[in-house]
Amino acid sequence: GHIPKDFFESQISWQIDKSLKLDYFGRINISYALLDQPISNPPDSETLRNFESIDFNIYIRPRSLYLNFLPDLYREVDFIGRLLNIFEQTFEPSVQTLDVIHDYLDPRTAPETLLPFLAYWVGWQMIPNIESDRQRQLIHRAIEIYRWRGTKRGLQFYLHLYTDLPLDEEHIFIQDVFERGFVTGETRLGQDSIVGGGKPYHFIVRLRHKPYHQINEQLIRQIIEQEKPAFCTYELYMILDNSNDNTPSLPESSNT
């Protein structure tokens, strides 16, 4: 027989003059054959004789985990199964969430809609218009970025996470020009200063990348401004690496 999709939601089964069980029958036929007679394939009615037929009812109910906690006597009561299923459908999604709560609290596996909440937990300001996987890694490593904020190592690590460039000086190079600059009465010419040029607390950032590796310069500057000490100045050079094309590498942009 055909079972309606809304059988368990329909109110028809709850009418007083009808049973809660589904009127769906099954039948088992028990047959036998004599040993001294060959059985054809398939067996025919002459060699295979009917011994008994047994009819039975099939009870259809939603799969319920809560029935496993009841004695066998109550598991056979259809009404109890339906009643428990109401509570199970209400609470089981929360129970399943608690079973994998560690995945919801990890930015690398959490649902994307939960990322702003996880970023707020660690005080991280999400960067707009970047890939979801890169956003997840930045949130996951936020505490490590905070630990080295204001240092050369921290800026290099942050740029590595954002740009996905290798964490080496060939691709991400940060050069300190002067630590203090020219200070009257303390400067030794030729040792810690030169005549002309140079800025105190100035550094240079060079990013070398392939032409197909697109990098948003505006976001790079935003990262540098956020990570550097407020009194420092910097220059940014984004260099295209055309080594495979046998063409010289030229600065893509450079600004002070």
Percent of the chain scoring above 90 in pLDDT: 21
The answer to whether 249 touches 237, Cβ cutoff 8 Å, is no
3-state class (DSSP) for residue 198:
coil
Say if residue 206's pLDDT is above 90: yes
- Say if strands 172-178 and 49-57 run parallel, antiparallel, or are unpaired: unpaired
Nearest CA to 155 out of 209, 208, 222, 215 is that of 222
* Same-domain check for residues 40 and 63: yes
Task: Judge if 43 and 131 occupy the same domain.
Answer: no
Predicted local confidence at residue 24, as pLDDT: 61
Do both 55 and 35 map to the same domain? yes
> Residue 236 in contact with residue 221, Cβ under 8 Å?
yes
- Which amino acid belongs to residue 157? F
Choose the weakest-confidence range: 58-67, 89-98, 222-231.
58-67
Helices and strands (DSSP H and E) totals, the chain: 8, 6
212-237 average pLDDT score: 89
Residues 74-107 as b/e (b if ≥16 CB within 10 A, e otherwise) read eeeebebbbebbeebeeeeeeeeeeeeeeeeeeb
> Domain limits at 240?
150-255
Residue 5 domain-assigned? no
Same-domain check for residues 210 and 239: yes
Based on the fold, state whether residues 175 and 248 are members of the same structural domain: yes
Same domain, 136 and 163: no
Q: What is the dihedral of CA 194, 195, 199, 200, to 10 degrees?
A: 60
Same domain, 142 and 155: no
> Would you state the pLDDT for residue 78?
77
Taking 70 as the threshold, does the pLDDT of residue 101 lie above it?
A: yes
Instruction: Count CA within 13 A, CB hemisphere, residue 134.
Output: 13
162 phi-psi bin (left φ>0, alpha ψ -120 to 50, beta other): alpha
- The tokens describing 214, both together, are 């697109």
Domain boundary among 38, 67, 99: 99
Q: What is the mean pLDDT of residues 214-240?
A: 89
Which pLDDT score is estimated for 118? 93
Instruction: Quote the pLDDT of residue 81.
Output: 80
Query: Which residues lie across from 205 on neighbouring strands?
Result: 174, 236
pLDDT(109) > 60:
yes
Mean pLDDT for 20-37 is 62
C-alpha to C-alpha distance for 229 and 242, rounded to whole angstroms: 33
Helical ranges in 164-216 per DSSP H:
none
Q: Which residue has the higher pLDDT, 27 or 227?
A: 227
The count of domains in the chain is 3
Mean pLDDT of 177-206: 68
Q: Is residue 3 part of a domain?
A: no
Shared domain check, 174 and 122: no
User: Average per-residue pLDDT in the chain?
Assistant: 76
